[in-house]
Structure 1
Amino acid sequence: MIIAGVDGSAAARAAVSWAADDAMRMHEPLRIVHAVDRDPYQFSRFHAWLELDVLVRVAQMTVSEAADSVRECQPDVEVSTEIVEGAAAPALCEQSKAAAEIVMGSRGLGGFSGALLGSVSLHVAGQAHCPVVVVRPGQESAHGEVVVGVDDAPECEPALEFAFRQAELRGGPLRAIHAWQRPVQLYAPQVNYDPDDITAAANEVVAARLARFRQEHPQVEVIEDVRRAHPVDALVDASARAALVVVGSHGRGGFRSVLLGSVSHGVLHHARCAVAVVRE
Structure 2
Amino acid sequence: MVTPDKPIVVGIDGSEDAVRAANWAVAEADHRGAALLLVIVNDDPARASYAEDAVRKTAEKCRAMAPHLAVDVETASGRPVEELLRQSRKAQLVVLGGRGHGGFADALIGGVSAAVATHGSCPVVVVRRGVPTTVGPVLVGVDGSESSTNALRFAFEEARGAAAELLVMEVWHEGDLLAGPLPSDERDRVQREVEQSLADQVSSLQEEFPNVRSRQLAQRGHPVATLTDAGRNAQLLVVGHRGRGGFGGLFLGSVAAGVLHHAPCPVVVVRNGDDRAK
- Give the TM-score range, shorter chain: 0.7 to 0.9
- Which shows bigger deviation, 86-95 or 135-144? 135-144
Whole-Å separation in 2 of the counterparts to 1:78 and 1:184: 51
TM-score by length of structure 2 reads: 0.86
- 1:24 and 2:30 equivalent? yes
Amino acid at match of 1:155: S
Mapped contact 1:142–1:243 kept (Cα < 8 A): yes
Q: Which has the larger radius of gyration?
A: 1
- Any idea what SS the aligned residue of 1:172 has? coil
Q: CA deviation at 1:140?
A: 2.7
Mapped contact 1:3–1:99 kept (Cα < 8 A): yes
- 1:151 and 2:143 equivalent? yes
Deviations 1:63-114 (A, max 9, x none): 1111111111111211000011111111000000010000000111218xxx
Matching residue within 29, 39, 43 for 1:37: 43
Mapped contact 1:17–1:140 kept (Cα < 8 A): no
**RMSD of the alignment, in Å?**
2.0
Whole-Å separation in 2 of the counterparts to 1:64 and 1:139: 22
Q: Structure 1: any 5+ residue segments left out of the alignment?
A: 39-49, 112-116, 254-259
Deviations 1:122-151 (A, max 9, x none): 110111100000002324322211000011
- Any idea what SS the aligned residue of 1:151 has? coil
Whole-Å separation in 2 of the counterparts to 1:184 and 1:252: 14
Amino acid at match of 1:187: G
Whole-Å separation in 2 of the counterparts to 1:7 and 1:203: 43
Matching residue within 225, 229, 232 for 2:224: 232
Determine the structure 1 residue equivalent to 2:276.
none
- Any idea what SS the aligned residue of 2:57 has? helix
Q: Structure 2: any 5+ residue segments left out of the alignment?
A: 1-6, 104-108, 246-251, 273-278
Runs (4 or more) in structure 1 with deviation over 3 Å come to 186-189
Aligned length: 254
Whole-Å separation in 2 of the counterparts to 1:121 and 1:192: 41
Determine the structure 2 residue equivalent to 1:123.
115
- 1:9 and 2:12 equivalent? no
Identity level (%)? 37
Whole-Å separation in 1 of the counterparts to 2:22 and 2:179: 48
| TM alignment of 1:103-182, pairs within 5 A | 103-110=95-102, 118-182=110-174
